[in-house]
Structure 1
Amino acid sequence: MTIKLNCFRGSCTMTVEEFKEWVDKDKDGRISKEELREALRSVGGWFTTWMSDRGVKTADVNSNGFIDDNEIGNLVSFAKKHLGVKIQIY
């Protein structure tokens, strides 16, 4: 799946499933800070190391270093607030 730069800037909307597919590059069902950093870099994001560290720390309730399906809502909230991503929640 290709996410265009203008999606990152907030001019388009994606679903939670599209967001997970965009970030979870190895398709293991978990999102690491490295995967989040690469997703942010792919759309020209700034301060990607800092933002990915902060995003995972904020969303990772069980402190295992990964965001799983139980924690994805926390990452979506972080992305909407701090990354300017519009994500539809059904």
Structure 2
Amino acid sequence: MAIMRCIRLEPTRSMTVDEFKEWLRTYDDNHDGRISKEELKEALHGLRVWFRSWKAKKAMESVDFNRNGTIDSATEMEKLVTFAQQHLHFKIYES
């Protein structure tokens, strides 16, 4: 998995929803199947996104419906995809 982190992904790059999810899974450091705010912040750091702490916080506020501090359901992941499209300027499309 560490090799995947070395691949640079530009925020304006087009990708499928599955590619986005797979990329995000590479930042699931404890392999629990959930994405925490810290893991999301690390993913944004890998993209060299400005204000990554603030953006990770805003993303979690927008998508973490059960307020457990992680993105852990399919619904929350779909909301994160939408958030990334709207606020992080990712071009994510259905495959």
TM-score when scaled to structure 2? 0.79
Deviations 1:18-49 (A, max 9, x none): 22222232332211111111111111100010
Number of aligned residues: 87
- 1:71 matched to 2:72? The reply is no
Point out where structure 1 has 5 or more consecutive residues left out of the alignment: none
TM-score when scaled to structure 1? 0.83
- Aligned with residue 46 of structure 1, among 41, 44, 50: 50
Please tell me the residue identity of whatever aligns with 1:76: V
* 3-state SS in 1 of match to 2:48: coil
What is the Cα-based RMSD across aligned positions, in Å? 1.6
- 1:84 matched to 2:81? The reply is no
Counterpart CA distance in 1 for 2:22 and 2:41 is: 14
Point out where structure 2 has 5 or more consecutive residues left out of the alignment: none
* 3-state SS in 1 of match to 2:75: coil
Identity over aligned pairs, percent? 48
Which residue number corresponds to residue 58 of structure 1?
62
- Aligned with residue 37 of structure 1, among 38, 41, 57: 41
Counterpart CA distance in 2 for 1:86 and 1:16 is: 9
